[in-house]
Amino acid sequence: MAVKAEALGAPVAWHGEGPMWDAAEKRLLIVDMMAGAVVDLGSPEYGSEAPTRHDVGSAVAAALRPRTAGGFAVATEHGFSLFSRAFTLERRFDDIIVDPGIRMNEGGCDPQGRFYCGTMAYDAEPGRGELFRLDADGTAHRVFGDVTISNGLQWSDDGTQAYYNDTPTGRIDVFDFDGERGAFENRAPFVTIDEEIGRPDGLAVDAEGGVWTALWGGGAVRRYDSNGRLSEVVDVPGVTNTSACCFGGEGLRTLFITTSRQDVPQGEQPAAGAVFAVEPGVAGRLLSSFAG
């Protein structure tokens, strides 16, 4: 079954990524990744008002999550930072990436409140990426390496599995996840996606265990049920680079989809960089918060 998403307004980012529903304020937040900014879109009806942009003091804003203590944790170009709810900087941790050719790219929090973010080379050289973890006490740890473009990390409802995209592989992989140790084990392919329909980028998991992945270069989001069977396709009209998705809005029943102008020729795809939305008939789950 295919449905069509609709743009909520004009483009709000050059490279929109990392959507997050802020349930406390009932607002949608995304990152304009390569501009180093968090974009506050307000309510889903934001189109009548100009979005608010917050500079994170870094060349890259890779991912963000709410903090249980209030405010937000943000993965920046080479490390992690903590911000207030108004996006005033409260703490910047020491960089964990020392190679200027590497940057943070995408991440998320496990059910125990650890914040993970993967990396990639600016030139996307194969195998140079890694996955890092920020614990609640502020210590950072390398989780695994041999990654090219780390993307789309989310957990199953019971927290025993983690879904993960290394985009150039064309796969959504699944790990057994040990929540006590924060360990990823027994990596296996969950879904393999044909290159001609796009590459798996950001992903979301719904309340029924379905896995939704944005297709970079495919202008669509696809849902796979818990057995890996394709069950839904969301078309994103007029845009090629769909980058990520999350659930939000009333009852978490709206799927928000970020898009990008990256690699789009000037003058083409005027809607690229906008946020799209659709109500797919299934509710999502709130993203876990950082425990620090």
Task: Give the residue numbers marked as catalytic.
Answer: 201
| β-sheet bridge partners, residue 287 | none
Q: Distance of CA 156 to CAs 107, 162, 195, 209, 210, Å?
A: 15, 6, 26, 7, 9
Q: Find, among 144, 139, 142, 179, the residue nearest to 162 by Cα.
A: 179
Non-local CB neighbours of 122 within 8 Å, separated by 6+ positions: 101, 102, 103
* SS3 category, 292: coil
Q: Distance of CA 85 to CAs 27, 78, 92, Å?
A: 12, 22, 15
Check if the beta carbon of residue 65 is closer than 8 Å to that of residue 136: no
Task: Give the other-Cβ count within 10 Å of 128's Cβ.
Answer: 19
Check if the beta carbon of residue 72 is closer than 8 Å to that of residue 91: no
Angle (nearest 5°) at CA 230 between 224 and 236: 85
Length in residues, the chain: 292
CA R_g for the chain: 17
Give percent helix, percent strand, percent coil of the chain, each to the nearest 5: 5, 50, 40
